[in-house]
Amino acid sequence: TALARRARAFGMTVGYSNRRPVSVALTAELDAEHLSLDELLATSDVVSLHCPYSPETHHLIGRAQLASMRSTAFLINTARGPVVDETALVSALEAGELAGAGLDVFEKEPEVHHGLLDRDDVVLIPHLGSATVETRTAMATLAARNALAILAGQAPVSPIA
């Protein structure tokens, strides 16, 4: 949601792919469109990944998905490293099938795929996206609220689906 708001502030059109659409009210507020992953990849200039890692999301973005993206598109992965097949990503970048990538997670952390190093079309940073005082405070507060709810015999505030 925060990224969508920032994207809209820059005049970007927002599309998203999710197992289930967000509320109609939020979709309207963000002027966003729910798309299939295939539609999203084929029509986006920037694809930013924010999904959990699971067997279903392992290599969610692989050779076929990268090939379906525009050659002028950028892929950003701040989700989990193994969501992207880095070997396929390197191949797509080398072939000019993708304009660039930004990664703050890596498939085999702490190692970085050698083909991603020293590239002008790739930005690599350690997983620091949540390293602000405000975010870490919010994370600790949410963890405490979840623990208190469970100890009280209630459902956690933010259950994992």
Catalytic site positions: 80, 109, 127
Q: Tell me if 9 sits within 8 A of 32, measured CB to CB.
A: no
Token look-up 């050659």 returns 71
> For residues 57 and 26, what is the distance between their CA atoms, to the nearest angstrom?
25
Contact 34, 81 (CB under 8 A): no
Q: How far is CA 149 from the centre of its chain?
A: 29
Task: Please tell me whether residue 90 adopts helix, strand or coil conformation.
Answer: helix
Which helix (DSSP H) or strand (DSSP E) does residue 92 occupy?
A: helix 86-94
Tokens at 41, concatenated: 């990849």
